Structure 1
Amino acid sequence: MSQRVAGSSVAGGERVGQKSKENFVRAQLVFPDGTSRITIERDPIPLYIERGAGSYLIDVDGRRYLDLNCNFTTLIHGHAFAPVVEALTHQLQRGSCFANPTESEIELAELLCGRIPQVERVRFVNTGTEAVLFAIKAARAFTGRSQIAKFEGAYHGAYDWGEVSLAATPDNWGDHTAPRSTAFYRGTPASVLDEVVVLRFNDVEGVRRLLSLHAHKLAAVVLDPMASRAGLIPPTPEFIAAVQETSRKNGVLVIADEVLNLRQSFVGASARYGLAPDLLAMGKIIGGGLPIGAIGGRGDVMKVFDASAGRPLLPQGGTFSANPLSMTAGLAAMRRLDHAAFEYLDMLGNIVRDGIGRAISNRGAPLCVAGATSLFRIHPMVKIPNDYREAHPAPAGVNVMRQLTRFFAENGIILPHGAVASLSTPMVRADAEFIVDVFAGFLDSNQDILDALEVRT
């Protein structure tokens, strides 16, 4: 292991410092489980962060970590990005929010419409969840149909219909030719489950058959081109074609959820993989680190939001939608995401994925790495899975990934557990090599738990 890795280890082997422990004691008095959202990682105590600078985080105990979470892929320019800080400082002196529109919302919308194929009109909301929610509602309003289709294991935010089969397991996911609609939380209305057709990612025959069978009731099929929680699995060209062609043939709208994957290229993920969606949900990177969501798409479909002649087919408001802080921060961040920035992120991503792949191959470890551009995800199996079911880990695999996350934390890197890791523009080549070194160190020092893995091909 490199000297840098050893020098980055957490002192004394303690994964969490004293101040984080004290904060968690306080938090348990005010939050149901001591945290404010389920996505907070704790093992068993979360790290409390004092500040971020570039690609690094500093916790309340003064410990420094390379951040591969980037607030769930949002911070593509890292922390405290100077152009965003400057733009926000200027805007705060002019006001934080108004009931009236501002020029900044027009400018950000112009940027998105000018850059992202298929986006002719835009509406801003506050989160990725809202973006998907209103995209589904827009499809219903446009088609007059109520049902949707989605892919097993794909996360589309906290909307009942989008959550169906998000966490399906071998115990309940049903037959491989006709996946069962499963509830994400206790009390999910049965009617919601009845209104969602569940498909398998990369299943060409199943997509064509099930979309055609249910087409008369389907408003839309929702597709994340490379769903993070479902495994960050690349789509095959045949699969993308099946979704596109079958939907077009049957009058079903295609909604691309690019809340996360818009960061895959200058023009997003859909164009990268040959998908031409009718509606596109955006978020995360377009807000420069502030809350944001956006729905974009074909002009005729987006007309369901048009209130110029009275009540629209789909009313959409929101006290903080298109607030000038999010618009200003997003504009500053997106203007600096030019072609050169994406080429640089691609280069870093290739260093990390290739390096991890070589470390696996050299040691014959039963692991693999998936991903593209600035994203990667390690799987506890020897071959990149083809869909969510193949990616679903056995208990031994879950343990390996938990130990991997711990090892990274002990060596100064925040690696998300069971989710996608992301790179940011302030990272340098040495950071990418650091990631590879730490991963190789994990393989060398954890042969016992790797041996416990069932070899799945």
Structure 2
Amino acid sequence: MECVARAELGRAGRRSRDSFSRAQLVFPDGTSRATIERDPGPLYIQRGEGSYVVDADGRRFLDLNGNFTTLIHGHSFAPVVEALTRQLQCGSCFGNPTESEIELAELLCGRIPQLDRVRFVNTGTEAVLFAIKAARAFSGRSKIAKLEGAYHGAYDWAEVSMAATPDNWGDSAAPKPTPLYRGTPASVLDEVVVLRFNDVEGVRRSLSQHARDLAAVLLDPMPSRGGLIAPKPEFIAAVQETARSNSILVIADEVLNLRQGFRGASARYGLVPDLVTMGKIIGGGLPIGAIGGREDVMKVFDASAGRPVLPQGGTFSANPLSMTAGLAAMRHLDRAAFANLEMLGNVVREGIGQAIASRGAPLCVTGAASLFRIHPLAQTPSEYRAAYPAPAGAALMKRLTRFFLENEIILPYGAAASISTPMCRADAESIVDVFAGFLDSYQDMLESTWALGSSPDDE
């Protein structure tokens, strides 16, 4: 595959530009999601076809975003389309339960360890929100602990230190809780203990120090926004052991990382959580979230005897469209499907690693299973601070994303890229080829990044 910079593909086409002009008259910044990429304007998508999307101007791109890792089967997955068509003919939502919610819950409880009971909501944010509330209701404590740089949705407490920077993140031995937005109540910051990923002694010390007040530690086994970095076994053990000995619940946020295997990410890394949050892939491309876990903890939602300890409703919670789509998608995610995704992910990560090594480029790649992320760093980072890019590194990543777009591949900026089941080995190899083409085309910029350094000192 010939990989060259083609500026006309890297820019939004005429229809996308026209649509963005219209959007700026009705949305605060022209979009409805802060995560939409614009360079300088967003691509408007007309349709999806398997692992590809077609924009409003008819241009076709290999999609490594997958609506932020949601579409593990790609776009317009036939079993989901067929199941949704049948369900729409019967109705889209009811004020009563449907059998589809039982079937999806049975599948999840039968597959994911530690899921005795499940509760469905509408988003990953809601799943995390209610998992934290459940931990508080169960324990009678109010504080939570969470990882610096980890994303857990838009709940005030879960947002703390999500976007910490070298200017405000504080001492490495005692990370400072930082607000995501101006006006965050000071009381929120006071109720969050910030941990550093893979800091074994730090997590033992912090959890023990605040044990009396901690309801839960919220942990993504491989935080995407935090660098998509593998957890050290001793770190997982430290979290597990310290939490257990201090009656602190462990919440595994697998909204994104459930796609790491047939049984999820916690099972992959030896984590035994009390609660698990899920979303994205379990909805088959429709909005969904879920909280699951130990029967005694999940009993806080039990309304059979009157008002529950923790009330939870939601007009569209467990709606039959999301349940039906999720069931169809998850039934087709068998062990063979996950094995193939793992194989393709290995082809991409190993190929990128070999391209870097052969050229001596100051980059590295992280990730696992069907996920990968490229960093402007010569050494693989072990946690968020080490993965935080300096301006030169951030500029390099922007150039990389643009180069991929110019070569008909959508590569997320500063986030996890994902493989989907419709992809084949040729697709995986084309990703590696484009990356190698980038290294060859921008050698001067790479050398400049190396000379300037691309990661701040975290001490």
- Bin of the TM-score, shorter chain as denominator length: over 0.9
Provide the residue aligned with 1:264 in structure 2.
Answer: 260
Provide the residue aligned with 2:298 in structure 1.
Answer: 302
Instruction: Output the CA distance in 1 between the equivalents of 2:347 and 2:209.
Output: 44
CA contact (8 A) 1:383 1:456 kept: no
Instruction: Output the CA distance in 2 between the equivalents of 1:245 and 1:195.
Output: 22
Matches within 5 A, 1:224-373: 224-373=220-369
Provide the residue aligned with 2:14 in structure 1.
Answer: 18
Instruction: Output the CA distance in 2 between the equivalents of 1:73 and 1:13.
Output: 23
CA contact (8 A) 1:10 1:412 kept: no
| SS, match of residue 90 in structure 2 | coil
CA contact (8 A) 1:70 1:422 kept: yes
Unpaired segments of 5 or more residues in structure 2?
A: none
Instruction: Output the CA distance in 2 between the equivalents of 1:46 and 1:451.
Output: 30
1:85-135 per-residue CA deviation (whole Å, 9 max, x = no partner) reads: 000000000000000000000000000000000000000000000000000
| SS, match of residue 132 in structure 1 | helix
CA contact (8 A) 2:9 2:408 kept: no
| SS, match of residue 372 in structure 1 | coil
Provide the residue aligned with 1:171 in structure 2.
Answer: 167
- Which of 125, 140, 154 in structure 2 is aligned with 1:129? 125
Provide the residue aligned with 2:50 in structure 1.
Answer: 54
Provide the residue aligned with 1:45 in structure 2.
Answer: 41
Provide the residue aligned with 1:397 in structure 2.
Answer: 393
Q: 1:365 to 1:324 in 2, by over 3 A?
A: same
Q: What is the alpha-carbon root mean square deviation over aligned residues?
A: 1.0
- Which of 190, 193, 196 in structure 1 is aligned with 2:192? 196
1:154-207 per-residue CA deviation (whole Å, 9 max, x = no partner) reads: 000000000000000011000000000000001000000000000000000000
Provide the residue aligned with 1:120 in structure 2.
Answer: 116
| SS, match of residue 120 in structure 2 | strand
Residue identity opposite 1:272 in structure 2: R
1:358-409 per-residue CA deviation (whole Å, 9 max, x = no partner) reads: 0000000000000000000000001110110000000000000000000000
Provide the residue aligned with 2:212 in structure 1.
Answer: 216
Residue identity opposite 1:438 in structure 2: V
Structure 1 segments of 4 or more deviating over 3 A? Answer: 9-14, 454-457
Deviation at 1:12, TM superposition (A): 3.9
| SS, match of residue 210 in structure 2 | helix
Provide the residue aligned with 1:427 in structure 2.
Answer: 423
Instruction: Output the CA distance in 1 between the equivalents of 2:269 and 2:7.
Output: 45
Residue identity opposite 1:83 in structure 2: P
Deviation at 1:418, TM superposition (A): 0.5
Q: 1:105 to 1:179 in 2, by over 3 A?
A: same
Instruction: Output the CA distance in 2 between the equivalents of 1:287 and 1:256.
Output: 18
Q: 1:452 to 1:299 in 2, by over 3 A?
A: same
Residue identity opposite 2:164 in structure 1: A
Instruction: Output the CA distance in 1 between the equivalents of 2:394 and 2:384.
Output: 15
Instruction: Output the CA distance in 1 between the equivalents of 2:163 and 2:134.
Output: 26
Provide the residue aligned with 2:103 in structure 1.
Answer: 107
Provide the residue aligned with 2:377 in structure 1.
Answer: 381
Q: How many residues align?
A: 453
CA contact (8 A) 1:382 1:455 kept: no
1:320-352 per-residue CA deviation (whole Å, 9 max, x = no partner) reads: 000000000000000000000000000000000
Identity of aligned residues (%): 77
CA contact (8 A) 1:366 1:455 kept: no
TM-score when scaled to structure 1? 0.98
Q: 1:323 to 1:13 in 2, by over 3 A?
A: closer
| SS, match of residue 452 in structure 1 | helix
Residue identity opposite 1:241 in structure 2: A
CA contact (8 A) 1:287 1:330 kept: yes
CA contact (8 A) 1:125 1:318 kept: yes
Provide the residue aligned with 1:84 in structure 2.
Answer: 80
CA contact (8 A) 2:168 2:176 kept: yes
In the alignment, is residue 154 of structure 1 matched against residue 154 of structure 2? no
Residue identity opposite 1:138 in structure 2: A
Provide the residue aligned with 1:417 in structure 2.
Answer: 413
Instruction: Output the CA distance in 1 between the equivalents of 2:133 and 2:380.
Output: 34
Instruction: Output the CA distance in 1 between the equivalents of 2:444 and 2:84.
Output: 50
